[in-house]
Structure 1
Amino acid sequence: MSNKIGRKGRFFRVLKIGTLVVPLLGLAACSGEEAVMPPDAPGVSRSEEYSFGSATQAQDWQATRKVLGQLEGRFGEKSMRILARNLASTTDPQTIKVYYAERLVHQAGWAEMPVSTFADKAWAFALVSPNGKHVLAVEALDASESAGGIVPLNILTNLDEDNGSKR
């Protein structure tokens, strides 16, 4: 009789452990999902060619290079890509940040990483994946640098996407 009770006790212990372990394994499996580049934010558009003059291009590259240098040190030079975009000069930079934060921070657990543009005519922010392997940074010139209602915006990332220049 005690042998049957022992087997039942063991069965229920295994059952209890299983009910604890299975959800944890499910969470672990979800955390290994491949990070994906979110769609462009409202106010951000793609262009076939660079829409700005050489003076704006020089300022844009200087600001981009400052942010890129910070990211390459942490994520590797070969993994970073620059995705050139245009930003409507009427778009508030905070709405761009909120857009990406809603898709990455609130849904996937990403965190903000401090970055500096070292330029008074640009702004930037960066978001890092929970495992620290992926980054999405956005850098753009201020609206005061507008050319035809748009300013250059660059997405610096190591997330997968079909378009963009590989570094």
Structure 2
Amino acid sequence: MGSKIRRKGRFFHTLKIGGVLAPLLSLSACWDEQPAMPPDAPGVSRPEEYSFGSATQAQDWQATRKVLGQLEGRFGEKSMRILARNLDSATDPQTIKAYYAERLTHQADWAEMPVSTFADRAWAFAFVSPNGKHVLAVEALNASESAGGIVPLNILTNLDEDKGSTQ
């Protein structure tokens, strides 16, 4: 009878260990997941073609290049992508920043990374994943550079766009 009790004890001991390990293993699987690209913020749209003249395009590229240079140094040149968007010029940049901060913090505790556009006519912000491997940055020209109520906006990221939520 003593051996039966010992076997039952081992069984319940194994069951307890499994009850603790299973949730831990599922949590560790979540940590390794690729963060998802959030859907575009309100006021941001996908253009069919670049809608701006050469002067605006030059300013847009200069501001984008400055932010991209900062990100490539940390995340690697080949991993970064630029996703061109249009921004409704009436949209407040802080609204865009709050939108992405909320979406990324929902996935995990992303931290803000300081970036600079080095331009008077643009603004930018960036968020870095908790493990420091992923980044989402947004750069746009100021509303004063508006052409037909829109300004160029660029999302600079190494996130997989296809894994994000539907738009």
1:67 partner amino acid: V
Q: Show the counterpart of 1:165.
A: none
Q: Secondary structure at the match of 1:33?
A: coil
Inter-partner Cα distance in structure 1 for 2:87 and 2:140: 8
Inter-partner Cα distance in structure 1 for 2:38 and 2:110: 13
Inter-partner Cα distance in structure 1 for 2:124 and 2:62: 13
2:90 partner amino acid: T
| Stretch deviating more after TM superposition (94-103 or 128-137) | 128-137
Inter-partner Cα distance in structure 2 for 1:35 and 1:106: 11
CA contact (8 A) 2:35 2:107 kept: no
Offset, 1:122: 1.3
2:14 partner amino acid: V
Q: Secondary structure at the match of 2:127?
A: strand
Inter-partner Cα distance in structure 1 for 2:145 and 2:75: 30
Q: Show the counterpart of 2:16.
A: 16
Q: Show the counterpart of 1:112.
A: 112
Q: Which residues in structure 2 correspond to 1:14-163 (within 5 Å)?
A: 14-161=14-161
Indicate the percent of aligned positions where both proteins have the same amino acid. Answer: 85
**Number of residue-to-residue matches in the alignment:** 162
TM-score where L is the length of structure 2:
0.88
1:86 partner amino acid: N
| Stretch deviating more after TM superposition (30-39 or 121-130) | 30-39
Which ranges of structure 2 fall in alignment gaps of 5 or more residues?
163-167
Which ranges of structure 1 fall in alignment gaps of 5 or more residues?
163-167
Inter-partner Cα distance in structure 2 for 1:34 and 1:42: 24
Q: Give CA deviations for 1:116-154 in whole Å, capped at 9, x if unaligned.
A: 212222111112223322211100111121121111100
Inter-partner Cα distance in structure 2 for 1:12 and 1:126: 49
Inter-partner Cα distance in structure 2 for 1:105 and 1:67: 22
Inter-partner Cα distance in structure 2 for 1:15 and 1:73: 49
Q: Give CA deviations for 1:60-84 in whole Å, capped at 9, x if unaligned.
A: 1111111101110111101111111
Q: Secondary structure at the match of 1:58?
A: helix
Q: Secondary structure at the match of 1:115?
A: coil
Q: Secondary structure at the match of 1:4?
A: helix
Inter-partner Cα distance in structure 2 for 1:82 and 1:17: 47
Offset, 1:85: 0.8
